Structure 1
């Protein structure tokens, strides 16, 4: 079990995750069928009063989970996506009941896929991917003093790594475990205000730096040890 996944305290959901869940519930209550319009970005911003960046992130999460598609132009907006087999798989994983056992299962599944995802990212990265990973890593460094923001940056970095993997099924399962951990009572190691929490975050940044650099450099032989360290207890 990874240090950032031990069950000692709960990590609050981000505003974007809360909004994504609210949109999902709205879709369920309206009993929308695939292809029907859900809303527009402007309508969601007006109804919620949330910042453009928060609404955009919530929509990105729902698109990533295969629930929404964006149609541009006149009559465009956010529409309920067609349920492909991969989308159905991800929806099944995301609707597993909350609980300690389910959380441990999600963590175990994620860790099992961690090396495969990293190796695939090392083999298929592009220059754009390199820039994206560097930006995500820098965001993780910048928010070390804010425990919740740090964990959200951690999730975002792993999503960016997984996005490089060309294996759609493995990517879907991996991202679904991340989504489950985020939208459930996602666990954290320690209170971020403590000295131990500060040291923990410093070490987590360091191991993610090594992970990203190995992926960018295509050093597959190093990834097994780095992933093992990433998944090892503090």
Structure 2
């Protein structure tokens, strides 16, 4: 468990112990940093984890800060999935779920994308390209791209489950590749090209192009459910 994850659990336990209701003030970033003794980056990551789990919401401004989030069943689903991190069997399950949802997420994006969406996706692919020599930054840009693609979908449950399972898979993949610099460099080069094609397929709004791009994204998988219908 990282320091950020540990701090996030401490804050969540404190909210539960105090019985704070939705909308109640949890604190401000500077207060959390002072109380915990952690660096700003660690506190920021802990806050991001809590926000993604639907535990807190961040309000800007003079009277802003961190507040207990309103209960949302979709966020609760995502929170539950994000807590299932460690056992390898669960990660393998996450891969299966992610792969099953990948096609629909990208088809939704192709159907509903706007010109603004495409500009954002192109910018994120360019960001990946700028970080081919920095694995951590590359993976962050990769994750941001998939998060932005999923955001185009109008299916909130699909987005919640997809993003949570992607997070599980990404954590394990990053840890494994970090041990082998040669494999990591090869991975970055191939994944950049694949993501460029994925974004291009979304821009084309051609279902066949999306099918092909999703298959390539899954490293050339040939699962029959991903093949386009005959005719």
TM-score by length of 1: 0.78
Cα distance change, pair 184–75 in 1 and its aligned pair in 2 (3 A): farther
8 A Cα contact 2:59 2:65, kept in partner: yes
Q: Shift of residue 83 of structure 1? A: 2.0
CA distance in 2, matches of 1:184, 1:25: 24
8 A Cα contact 1:68 1:78, kept in partner: yes
CA distance in 2, matches of 1:233, 1:147: 23
Matched, 1:63 2:48: no
Cα distance change, pair 183–199 in 1 and its aligned pair in 2 (3 A): closer
Matched, 1:158 2:146: yes
Q: How does 1:26-37 map to 2 (within 5 A)?
A: 26-31=11-16, 32-37=20-25
8 A Cα contact 1:94 1:177, kept in partner: yes
CA RMSD of aligned residues (A): 2.9
CA distance in 2, matches of 1:58, 1:131: 30
- 1:70 aligns to what SS in structure 2? strand
Of 106, 115, 119 in structure 2, the residue corresponding to residue 131 of structure 1 is 119
CA distance in 1, matches of 2:98, 2:117: 21
Cα distance change, pair 188–150 in 1 and its aligned pair in 2 (3 A): farther
- 2:40 aligns to what SS in structure 1? coil
| 1:7-36 deviation per Cα after TM superposition (whole angstroms, max 9, x unaligned) | xxxxx97xxxx5366234312234244322
Of 103, 114, 117 in structure 1, the residue corresponding to residue 105 of structure 2 is 117
Of 222, 227, 231 in structure 1, the residue corresponding to residue 209 of structure 2 is 222
- 1:151 aligns to what SS in structure 2? helix
**Greater Cα radius of gyration, structure 1 or 2:** 2
Residue 231 (structure 1) aligns with:
218
Q: How does 1:158-197 map to 2 (within 5 A)?
A: 158-182=146-170, 187-189=175-177, 191=179, 193-194=181-182, 196-197=183-184
CA distance in 2, matches of 1:224, 1:182: 22
76-85 vs 146-155, greater mean Cα deviation: 146-155
8 A Cα contact 1:20 1:59, kept in partner: no
Cα distance change, pair 35–223 in 1 and its aligned pair in 2 (3 A): same
Q: Which consecutive residues of structure 2, in runs of 5 or more, have no partner in the other structure?
A: 222-231
CA distance in 2, matches of 1:187, 1:110: 18
Residue 212 (structure 1) aligns with:
199
Q: Shift of residue 67 of structure 1? A: 2.5
8 A Cα contact 2:85 2:91, kept in partner: no
Structure number with higher relative contact order (C-alpha < 8 Å, ≥ 6 residues apart): 1
- 2:213 aligns to what SS in structure 1? helix
